[in-house]
Amino acid sequence: MIRRVHCWRSLYKKTKKCTFGDWVGSQQPHPTYRKLMSRYTDETVSITRLTSFSDGVFAIAVTLLVFNLKVPQIPANLVHRELPSVILGMVPAFSTYVVSFLLVAIYWTFHHRLMNLVVRIDTQFLWMNIYYLLVISFIPFPAALFGSYFHERFSFLFYVCCMIVVNLISMTMVAYASYKYRLVKQDLPVAILKYLFSRLFAAIIIFISSIPLAFYQQRWALYYLFLIFPVNWAMKMYFRRYEKG
């Protein structure tokens, strides 16, 4: 006990260098130690730096999507005759690129809105954001897989499951940050949180409902995913009207 008291005093007077063994014997951490750990872990996380890092990951992800589109290689004497049919055959790859790009844009707008609501960050939320970016940076791979093997049902299921995971992590981040106003503003209207949850939940419903459609006609299942964008717009109009009312 005397050794630990002397160690706590040396934390401020710097009269003795404390070792890790000095802390091991303590069954209950000192309150000052808790404050120091919180100060040098949670409070040093900058919202600006986290947002900048996230924006960089999003920018790289949308850039990598276009690399999935390969210029067709056609013999010079057959270009005039075969090029239109080859481009027409690449329509699924173009559609996959467009829907993937727009989905990443939606996830970026969600992240942008969420970070505008957050006033502080703790370690748990920081790692949630890292896992979120992990899946975002992975999106170009299932997009390339689906674009290359468009007629394979597994490629579509794999693509949809990746998008569902992104939405689930997004909902977890909102729930964690807003629980008892842990990380968000105290005067934050509940309608904004409902709006974010509704958009994410509606997207999950559309992703899940596209799976049975893929067993019938996979091309229509891909086009069905475009329904997410008008649904998001309709929800935005509804909540704006709800807020005015």
Mean pLDDT of 126-135: 95
pLDDT, position 217: 85
pLDDT, position 210: 93
* Gap between the terminal Cα atoms of the chain: 63
Distance CA 236, CA 199 (A): 9
Mean pLDDT of 21-25: 45
pLDDT, position 15: 47
Which residues, including other chains, have CB under 8 Å from residue 134's CB and lie 6 or more apart? none
Q: Which residues pair with 184 in a beta bridge?
A: 118
pLDDT, position 73: 78
Residues 43-78 pLDDT 10s: 556 888 889 999 999 999 999 998 888 877 777 777
Which of 119, 102, 77, 125 has the alpha carbon at shortest distance from 233?
102
pLDDT of 2 higher than 80? no
Residues 135-162 pLDDT 10s: 999 999 999 999 888 888 899 999 999 9
Residue 184: what are its φ and ψ, rounded to 5°? Answer: -105, 175
- What is the band of 185 on the pLDDT scale with cuts at 50, 70, 90? confident
Alpha carbon dihedral 21, 27, 30, 36, in 10-degree steps, equals: 60
In the DSSP assignment, the letter for residue 78 is G
Distance CA 133, CA 139 (A): 10
pLDDT, position 168: 96
In the DSSP assignment, the letter for residue 76 is G
Distance CA 67, CA 147 (A): 11
At 219, list the tokens.
């091309």
pLDDT of 39 higher than 70? no
Residues above pLDDT 90, as percent of the chain: 41
Q: What is the mean pLDDT of the chain?
A: 81
Mean pLDDT of 155-174: 95
At 208, list the tokens.
């899940």
